């Protein structure tokens, strides 16, 4: 019985496997050679946070709606409320609620998917002061 099963494997399965290996070895690769080939993020991708300081009024709505508690309101003299948001980027789950609820649209999530770092301090948001 064992000899019969081995003969079936040798006659039927191994040639198929070898054929598949040869076909894949000389065909187009399945993967993309990232980071050597750029990859465009699709529409609606929620990547790195961009915060426009000039648009922000310091209302604190972003802090209230953030489920990950990634935004804290800290003392900041640039705003009427004397408080401004501080983003704790490594806590962010990129849900986009802060951007959706911001009344002045000072927060947006970009298509930038390079949101990594070796230390949590390396992960930063993009601050626009125009």
pLDDT tens sequence across 44-94: 899 889 999 999 999 999 999 999 999 999 998 888 889 999 998 888 999
The Cα-based distances of 118 to 4, 37, 112, 122, 123 in angstroms read: 55, 22, 18, 7, 8
pLDDT the model gives residue 19: 85
How do residues 93-117 score in pLDDT, each as one tens digit?
Answer: 999 999 999 999 999 999 988 877 7
Q: What is the mean pLDDT of the chain?
A: 87
pLDDT the model gives residue 97: 96
pLDDT the model gives residue 109: 92
Please say if the pLDDT value at position 1 is more than 80.
no
| 99: enclosing H helix or E strand | helix 97-101
pLDDT the model gives residue 64: 96
pLDDT the model gives residue 15: 84
Please say if the pLDDT value at position 17 is more than 90.
no
Q: How many other CB atoms are found less than 10 A from the CB of residue 112?
A: 13
């Amino acid at each position: 019985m064992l000899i019969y099963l081995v003969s079936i494997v040798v006659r039927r399965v191994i040639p198929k496997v070898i054929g598949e290996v040869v076909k894949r070895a000389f065909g187009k690769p399945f993967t993309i050679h990232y980071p050597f080939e750029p990859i465009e993020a699709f529409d609606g991708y929620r990547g790195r946070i961009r915060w426009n300081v000039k648009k922000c009024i310091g209302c604190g709505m972003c802090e209230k709606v953030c489920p990950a508690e990634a935004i804290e309101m800290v003392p900041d003299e640039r705003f009427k409320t004397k408080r401004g948001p501080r983003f704790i980027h490594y806590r962010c789950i990129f849900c986009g609620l802060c951007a959706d609820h911001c009344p002045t649209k000072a927060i947006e999530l970009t298509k930038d998917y390079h949101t990594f770092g070796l230390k949590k301090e390396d992960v930063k948001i993009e601050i626009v002061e125009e």
